[in-house]
Amino acid sequence: MVKGEITLIGAGPGDPELITVAGYKALLHADVVLADRLAPRALLADLAEDVTVIDVGKAPGCHVATQDEINELIVTHALAGKNVVRLKGGDPYVLGRGGEERLYAEQHGLSVRVIPGITSAVSVPAAAGIPVTHRHLATGFTVVTGHQDLGEVPVRADHTLVVLMGVSTLASTVSTLTSRGLPSSTPIAIIERGYSQTQRTTIGTLEEIVVRARKAAVANPAVIVIGDVVRLAPDAQVHLASLKSLDTSDAAAAATFVD
């Protein structure tokens, strides 16, 4: 039996033009496409009419398919001789579970090609004018998920912390970081829907960002950036200077903020 090809493609942070040339060419060669929720869906319009598109998107608290089911779909179609593309937002190997999918396929005697993509951890802050590293401000950065234990990540304003999938755990993230000694005056930015027409950035400090995020009804998908590099965002100083006028009387209610 002829086995099909499997390609894991990172399609970037959301703008369809940010997929690599290699990724786009491989996508057009697919017989079956398993598409993530955050993958640029506009790319699917370029597929031939006979290509099977399977939505396996995951949203907070709502998974169209479990990871085990996704793994099985990839293998089943490849063993049937189909060229399978797993279309992911960002990069398959940056908190994208691409490694799990590759290993599962290899356990079934299938080879996998991985085409990297532009990760949202770096590109979405850039879209908001925030470099994750900057000379004299930050020479390194750490990428985590909002559901990860932050007990051992660096807690210095000169080391950038990028949090993915962290809206619902914002209050606990702030509490953990400040309890570990990160100054409450440390700037933080939340960039929603990076590279889309509705991109929005909310800037504040650790001391009041939970209140500010609640008032702004911040929601996923979003990338959170913590550290001195946030000061480089356009109008960041204006946002930070306006904090004294923020009404924090509902801070207690904001502690239960969820996306």
Can you state the percent helix, strand and coil of the chain, rounding each to 5? Answer: 35, 20, 45
> Does the annotation mark 244 as catalytic?
no
Q: Are strands 187-192 and 200-205 parallel, antiparallel or unpaired?
A: antiparallel
Alpha-carbon gap, residue 254 to 24, rounded angstroms: 43
Annotated catalytic residue, options 31, 36, 91, 259 = 36
- DSSP annotation of 41: G
Q: Phi/psi of residue 215, each to 5°?
A: -65, -35
> Does the annotation mark 165 as catalytic?
yes
Contacts of 223 by beta carbon, 8 Å cutoff, 6+ apart: 120, 121, 124, 125, 162, 163, 164, 190, 191, 194
Annotated catalytic residue, options 31, 82, 165, 259 = 165
Could you tell me if 138 and 229 are in contact, meaning their C-beta atoms sit under 8 angstroms apart? Answer: yes
| Nearest C-alpha neighbor of 9 from the set 30, 53, 76, 58 | 30
Q: Where is 200: in which H helix or E strand?
A: strand 200-205
Annotated catalytic residue, options 3, 15, 58, 215 = 58
Could you tell me if 216 and 184 are in contact, meaning their C-beta atoms sit under 8 angstroms apart? Answer: no
> Does the annotation mark 1 as catalytic?
no
The burial of 39, by beta-carbon neighbours within 10 Å (0-12 exposed, 13-18 middle, 19 or more buried), is given as buried
Alpha-carbon gap, residue 204 to 186, rounded angstroms: 8
Catalytic residues: 36, 58, 165
